Amino acid sequence: MDLWHLLFLGSGGFVSGIIAGILGIGGGTLLVPLIFTLGYLPIEAIATSSLAILMTAMFGSFQNWSLGHLQLKKVIYLAIPAGLTAQLGVLVANKIAPYLLLAGFGLLLLLNVTLISLRKSLAHKQHPNSAPKPTTQSSVQQTTARLTTGGTAGFIAGLFGLGGGVIMVPLQVILLGENIKAAIQTSLGVIVITAIFACGSHAMSGNVLLAEGICLGIGGLFGVQLSTRFLPKLPENMVIFLFRGFMGLLAGYMFVKAWHSRAIAFNFSKRRLCLVFNCVREVLKDGDRFIRQCDR
């Protein structure tokens, strides 16, 4: 890996950290396409982004814990199903064709637009420091809600190399009755667990690019520091507008790459089928010549 790649990855990690700080999401939505653009395989991009996300989430969760804003009990309740389904997501990612993986990631980017808009609207309706609304859910309903929230986020973390926070936060608000601020803090703690499982599984499969992942993670740490101190002062409507435009362009780019990857795979399969057909035809010709010689 040359100096240009290091600078490019560091800058990409820095920008993803800024986006994560402004919008409260993980940086995988930017990191996966960034790594893929450098010529790596989709599965390598997904695996390496999980390492960078792990570094950023650990740093942010440590800060929350030191300030007394992280409730470990809530983290554990969501982390157990998330850790299990993250393994399933990794297994599925290794079985899916590259063009399907890219297309699925593009669809997830479009889904993120809706979920982030939902989070912003919920934040307007509920003050961040207000207590959660009392819930009348039974213990069975709460357990089901936690399993759904953590399990969905974990599967997405393993499948697409994301932290899962963009799914976990709105589900906590909707299903568990958490306020926005507590949901974000808990989500970041759970992301540490899901990223450990996802990154570990990908590492055992040999998909993680260690140097690239560390470079992205270091850049993300600096980006988060900057965004949490200065950039939240930007008008919220401007942030939402920029996010929607960014996600839309990125989704379009991934769909184009998926179509290109599918075309390559189709052409390769077509050439391989033609090769097999020609081989069979030659074998049949040789057999026919052999029979004629025997008749003579």
Q: What is the pLDDT of residues 268-288, one digit of tens each?
A: 555 555 665 566 566 556 555
pLDDT band of 178, cuts 50, 70, 90:
confident
Look up residue 14 and give its amino acid: F
**Which tops the pLDDT comparison, 174 or 222?**
222
pLDDT band of 173, cuts 50, 70, 90:
confident
Query: How large a percentage of the chain has pLDDT more than 90?
Result: 1
Interatomic CA distance for residues 60 and 230, integer angstroms: 16
pLDDT band of 67, cuts 50, 70, 90:
confident
The pLDDT of residue 131: 46
**For the residues 128-136, what does the mean pLDDT come to?**
50
Residue 57 Cα distances to 21, 189, 199, 221, 280, angstroms: 11, 7, 13, 9, 56
The pLDDT of residue 74: 86
Residue pointed to by tokens 């990855």 = 9
User: Residue 118: pLDDT above 80?
Assistant: no
Taken in order 178, 77, 117, 25, is the CA torsion positive or negative? positive
Taken in order 146, 149, 150, 152, is the CA torsion positive or negative? positive
Q: Which of 41-45, 92-96, 160-164 has the highest mean pLDDT?
A: 41-45
Contacts of 103 (CB under 8 A, 6+ apart): 254, 255, 258
| Average pLDDT, rounded, for the chain | 76
The pLDDT of residue 198: 81
In which region does residue 137 sit, left (phi positive, over 0), alpha (psi from -120 to 50) or beta (all else)?
beta
**For the residues 171-196, what does the mean pLDDT come to?**
80
pLDDT band of 132, cuts 50, 70, 90:
very low
Provide the whole-model pTM.
0.65
pLDDT band of 258, cuts 50, 70, 90:
confident
Interatomic CA distance for residues 13 and 221, integer angstroms: 8
Contacts of 134 (CB under 8 A, 6+ apart): 177
The pLDDT of residue 214: 92
What pLDDT, in 10s, does the model give residues 193-209?
A: 878 888 888 898 898 99
